[in-house]
Amino acid sequence: MNRFWHVRSARTLALMISFVIVLAASVLLALSCILRLVNGQWPAAAEQSITTVSNLRFNDNLAVIVMVVLAVLGLLLLLSALIPGRRQTILLNSDDPSARSEQAISCRGISTLVGYEVERTDSVTRASVTTSPKLVRVTVQTPAHSVQRVRENVQARVQGVIDGLPVQRAPKVKVSVQRRGGN
């Protein structure tokens, strides 16, 4: 059972843009209303906006531009909410094929497991791991002269971690080694 919504990322960009726009409009409107109650008149910018909007006609250039901008912004927000994002999880094999659920492990979880194992490797002073559903990219730093040996050791350890996970499709492993420090 492959669920569409479970394996996709959150739509945080669309949410944040919508939140900022609605918050800004709400604050401006509330501030204008409070100033109206306190002073007995609208602020100059609000009064000018009210006058401009009340005098607009549907066929005015400003009205058409505003409507087009709002329509495009709404369409962009709708598309960013509906189009699936990058996968952030990798599906696991289920022990019970008749089960109506699925299990997954996050890419960040795999990065943590792999990073822990890589940092335990001899001659590795620093490790950086990034994971996607298709690729585990490992970058290590070593003071050793034999970079090839370190690369082979790290590759074997990472492959052992990936092979030990019950994933449906194992990601490929790419290891790069940088020689730093040492004599």
The answer to whether 159 and 113 have CB atoms below 8 angstroms apart is no
Which tens digit of pLDDT belongs to each residue from 20-50?
Answer: 988 999 999 999 999 989 998 888 888 888 8
**Running DSSP on this structure, what letter comes out for residue 140?**
E
What pLDDT, on a 0 to 100 scale, did the predictor assign at position 177? 93
Biggest distance spanned by C-alpha atoms of the chain: 80
d(CA 67, CA 54): 15
Pairing mode of beta strands 104-106, 89-91: antiparallel
Backbone angles phi, psi at 56, to 5 degrees: -75, 145
The answer to whether 145 and 182 have CB atoms below 8 angstroms apart is yes
What pLDDT, on a 0 to 100 scale, did the predictor assign at position 1? 44
d(CA 127, CA 114): 10
Separate counts of helices (H) and strands (E) for the chain: 5, 5
Q: Residues near 66 by Cβ (< 8 Å), separated by ≥ 6?
A: none
What pLDDT, on a 0 to 100 scale, did the predictor assign at position 13? 72
What pLDDT, on a 0 to 100 scale, did the predictor assign at position 183? 56
What pLDDT, on a 0 to 100 scale, did the predictor assign at position 95? 66
Pairing mode of beta strands 172-179, 135-142: parallel
The answer to whether 170 and 133 have CB atoms below 8 angstroms apart is no
pTM of the complete model: 0.59
Q: Which domains does the chain have, with CATH numbers?
A: 12-82 (no CATH), 90-179 (3.30.70.1350)
The rounded radius of gyration (Å) of the Cα atoms in the chain is: 28
Regions in the chain scoring below 70 on pLDDT: 1-11, 85, 95-99, 181-183
Taking alpha carbons only, the member of 161, 116, 148 closest to residue 175 is 148
What pLDDT, on a 0 to 100 scale, did the predictor assign at position 6? 47
